[in-house]
Structure 1
Amino acid sequence: MSFDVLDEHEQGELVQKWLRENAAAIAAGIGLGLVLIFGWRQWNSHQASQGIAAASQYQALADAVEAKKNDDALKVADALRKDFPKSAYAVLAALQQAEIAVGKNDLAGAASALDWARDHVRDDSLAHLITLRSARVKLAQGDADGALKLVDALPKDSFASTAAEIRGDAYLKLGRSDDARKAYEAALADPKDTLTLGQSNSLVRMKLDDLGGGAPPAAVPVTPAAEKPAS
């Protein structure tokens, strides 16, 4: 007999029978659903509280930097990296550590902080910026080949002018003047890079001029004077 031709009583009996036979499974399913909902809410709450704590620590770091208390800033940055390694604030803290280290001429410390930041960053643009900073530190350490390796791994359209300038600096250290000249010319040819524009292109132009490079000013065409008609 088809289910749709059963009367209401028979349908009710079948439903009750099915419920009795599957009560355990239904209860387990409801319980699992409640656990998942509760767990999801707890996870979201935990993530929110972690974010607030990380932001609070980063503010403490910023305050210490502003007050020029570098030792305190480094301690807070270390705590951020340890307690919230997956947080964007930890990456920013590592960048601040690198900047402080450079100020102390501690290039090894700066390189280490930048390596950590590059390993933990999730934003592509920030990752590219960190790579450029790492390349500059390698140049300062005398590792021109290492700097070239980092810059050459970047996408061509990522901070192209700055990458070209660093590439030129690396070539110059390696004694490859022609390649350095071409790199500096490429840096000047792409004005879209805000990193280069922020410092103005004058420094790159000076580097290029020191190499005797750069296109000379365009000659102004001279229009020949009209001949006087013969008298």
Structure 2
Amino acid sequence: MAFDVYDDYEQGERVQQWLRKNGVSILVGIALGLALIFGWQQWKSHRAGHEQAAAGEYSALQAAAATNKTSESDVRTETLMKEYSDTAWAVFAASERAQRSVMAGQFDKAAGDLDWAQAHAKDDTLKSLVSLRFAQLKYAQGKPQEALTALDSFPGKGFSASTQELRGDVLVKLGRQDDARKAYQAAIAAMGDSAPQRGVVQTKLDDLAVAGKQGA
């Protein structure tokens, strides 16, 4: 029993000595660990709020664009690009304004937005979207060969229906009707049965068939 008591006493003394030597570093380590955990939770909370705010701004942008409020659309796009440049919503906003600029014939403005979007696109989906917009810009500028080159270097497999339809349009411009027909067929195959654009692409395909019969 005496030895047991001594062993317990000696063990306690050794523990206390060890704590005196290492206690400060242990406490510092615990404090740092808690700080990291707290900091990580705070960062996640901030990030979630940041993304939510960007999504709200983008939703308001879409509503403005749908009602042709050009000034408001531009302001909200600029806000997303300046204050939320690290989110996908900013890339979507810049890409969509570029598309509207192409439709308005403002090619330089569209190119500027696409350059910005390309520099901030972080994943394959966003990169594919920007590449599609670049190809649409080249086609609208009357540069079908450059548009085809952009489509040939398309990253990822996203937006297949839109890219194949555009490829068909480009190939028609280049006089490659057989290849255009294959592209339109691929576009239709990539669409759902109820896709709004399905009828448009089918019409383009039918027009090619009529042109082929007339040229035979």
TM-score interval, smaller chain:
0.7 to 0.9
Q: Which amino acid aligns with 1:41?
A: Q
Query: CA–CA distance in 2 between the matches of 1:195 and 1:151?
Result: 22
Are the counterparts in 2 of residues 117 and 130 from structure 1 also a CA contact under 8 Å? yes
Sequence identity (%): 38
Structure whose alpha-carbon radius of gyration is higher: 1
- Deviations along 1:43-68, whole A, 9 cap, x unmatched? 12221221232223223323322332
Query: CA–CA distance in 2 between the matches of 1:190 and 1:54?
Result: 32
Are the counterparts in 2 of residues 101 and 110 from structure 1 also a CA contact under 8 Å? yes
- Count of residue pairs the alignment pairs up: 206
Q: SS of the counterpart of 2:132?
A: helix
Q: SS of the counterpart of 2:24?
A: helix
- Deviations along 1:108-142, whole A, 9 cap, x unmatched? 22233234334323453453244223212211112
Matches within 5 A, 1:162-181: 162-174=162-174, 177=175, 179-181=176-178
Name structure 1 gaps, 5 residues minimum. 1-5, 217-231
1:74 maps to which residue? 74
2:190 maps to which residue? 193
Distance change in 2, residues 1:82/1:68 (3 Å): same
> TM-score normalised to the size of structure 1?
0.74
Name structure 2 gaps, 5 residues minimum. 1-5
1:154 maps to which residue? 154
Q: Which amino acid aligns with 2:29?
A: G
Q: By percentage of residues, which structure has more helix? A: 2
> TM-score normalised to the size of structure 2?
0.79
Are the counterparts in 1 of residues 161 and 187 from structure 2 also a CA contact under 8 Å? yes
Are the counterparts in 2 of residues 161 and 186 from structure 1 also a CA contact under 8 Å? no
Query: CA–CA distance in 2 between the matches of 1:54 and 1:134?
Result: 24
CA RMSD of aligned residues (A): 2.9
